[in-house]
Structure 1
Amino acid sequence: MDNLALIGMASIVTAGLTITIGSIGPALGEGKALAQALNAIAQQPDEAKNITRTLFVGMALVESTAIYCFVITLILIFANPFWNYFIEKAGG
């Protein structure tokens, strides 16, 4: 197996692990935040507007982690800086 194949396999495996682990954490965090927000709204219905606004800001921050992992995955698959180097060395 040549170096180009190893770089390709490592990039794909790393991209898969990045998107898998990077999606599970935010999903669990958002689920817990939503459950707590619904619980708080059930206990204090008159504060629903403030709770909802805070919930959406918090969920946006949590979701940004998953978006960063998605961007890293796209970079590893489509814009990997090692690809050009190894293709150039392989004579392609």
Structure 2
Amino acid sequence: MVLKGSAMMIYIGIMLLLLFIPNSLTKSIVYSPAPQPQPPHDSSMYGATPHSLKPQECAPKCTNRCSKTAFKKPCMFFCQKCCATCLCVPPGTYGNKQYCPCYNTWKTKRGGPKCP
């Protein structure tokens, strides 16, 4: 019976000791955030943000932008004009103007979009 009582007292003593260990000792482990996966480099998005192109890079981007239209000559004219000012061309052949805000804000005299 004495052995059981002393074992119980040792157990209670260890538990009380663990409760009063300073937090600085228990927080010595520092966890670094896990590395986030990077999206793959998408070459089609290059030049889609404002001022990310050089003026000489406008022609190939506009050729791609105007590739599916029936009105290639006016599309190329206005696309190159917009690209020279904005230094960006939205990705794809239509839409996606949110990537190049200058395309949305530049309007014709009638209020329509100037850039294709």
Instruction: Tell me whether the two structures share a fold, i.e. TM-score over 0.5.
Output: no
Rg (Cα) greater in structure: 2
Higher relative contact order structure (alpha carbons within 8 Å, sequence separation ≥ 6): 1
Q: TM-score, normalised by structure 2?
A: 0.21
TM-score (ref. length: structure 1): 0.25
